[in-house]
Amino acid sequence: MRAAGERGFCVGADIKEFRQVESAVAARRVDADIAYIDAVASLAKPVIAAVHGFCLGGGFEIALACDIRIASANAVFGLPEVNLGLIPGAGGTQRLPRLIGTGRALDLMLTGERFGAEEALRLGVVSRLAPSREALDEQAVALAEAIAAKSPNAAAYVKEAVMDGADLDLEAGIALEKNLFTLLLTTDDRMEAAAAF
């Protein structure tokens, strides 16, 4: 997933939309408008976010819903909602702490501070950096091709084990992993890989 624009990945919602709310019921309807973020997170296939420029607010929450994030050197991240008297409302308060830890996530959300690509790498928000937008696109495509060359069932089960297992205790997570591992033992992909090895 990447943005087509030059300025950035995504800066989230138009702040002017939040000036006047007709009612709590009308405000709740906005939830349907952001359901696509949860849909991205629930895809069985791995999703890579190639982030350049600004990645703020709801845009950052879109990136957090992706499985792997790569950033160009000019990327700027942040959840500035507290500056508007709001909180992240599309998964940021849940996904960021699970990714980088509660203390660091609270620091970023309570201050609303922006941070650059190097800091995003240090914190674990992104797993790779690219020196430029062009290199970012090349790295993202190369990574996607490398993952796509693997068994699609194995890739889907890795994602399922990690994502679903994160909400389980260790014993239940290991049981999930064993079940998924066992299911893969008889697949054609596994048989072909074993024969080629």
Splitting the chain (197 residues) into consecutive groups of 10 residues, what average pLDDT does each group show?
A: 71 62 62 76 94 94 96 96 92 95 96 97 96 93 95 94 93 96 87 70
Residues 130 and 161 reside in one and the same domain: no
81 is catalytic: yes
pLDDT of residue 190: 76
Are 120 and 40 part of one and the same domain? yes
Q: Same domain for 110 and 170?
A: no
Helices (H) and strands (E) in the chain, counts: 10, 7
Among residues 61, 134, 171, 177, the one annotated as catalytic is: 61
pTM beyond 0.75, yes or no = yes
In a domain, 2, yes or no: no
The two structure tokens encoding residue 163: 């994502």
41: domain CATH number is 3.90.226.10
**pLDDT at residue 8, as a whole number:** 76
State yes or no: is 113 an active-site residue: no
Total structural domains within the chain: 2
Considering 6, 17, 22, 81, which one is annotated as catalytic?
81
Residue 101 belongs to domain spanning? 8-148
What integer pLDDT is reported at residue 7 of this predicted model?
74
Q: Are 157 and 176 in contact (CB under 8 A)?
A: no
Burial 50-88, CB ≥16 within 10 A → b, else e: bbbbbbbbbbbbbbbbbbbbbbbebbbbbbbbeeeeeeb
User: What pLDDT, on the 0 to 100 scale, is given for residue 110?
Assistant: 97
